């Protein structure tokens, strides 16, 4: 690990959700019920920086 490097940790959040159709439109009801929804976020988090492991 480079001692001169700035704190560099990241936090990843990913959410998967199956949204049931309320209107059940005929165009989508045959093959997309429930509708899959995916979202994610990537954020810097300096407190998640890895620390060196002490040698025994």
Each domain of the chain, given as residue ranges in start order, spans 10-48
Mean pLDDT along residues 18-38: 78
Q: Quick check: 9 and 45 in contact, CB under 8 A?
A: yes
Is-contact 55 28, C-beta < 8 A?
Answer: no
Query: pTM here?
Result: 0.52
In this predicted structure, the answer to whether residue 26 has a pLDDT above a threshold of 80 is: no
Predicted pLDDT at 8: 76
Of 16, 8, 5, 22, which is closest to residue 39 (Cα–Cα)? 16
CA distance 17 to 35: 8
Report which of residues 44 and 39 the model is more confident about.
39
């Amino acid at each position: 690990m480079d001692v001169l490097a700035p704190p560099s940790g990241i936090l990843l959040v990913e959410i998967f959700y199956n949204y049931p159709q309320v209107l059940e439109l005929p165009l989508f009801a045959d093959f997309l019920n429930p509708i899959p929804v995916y979202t994610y976020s990537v954020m810097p988090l300096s407190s998640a920086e890895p620390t060196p492991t002490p040698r025994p």
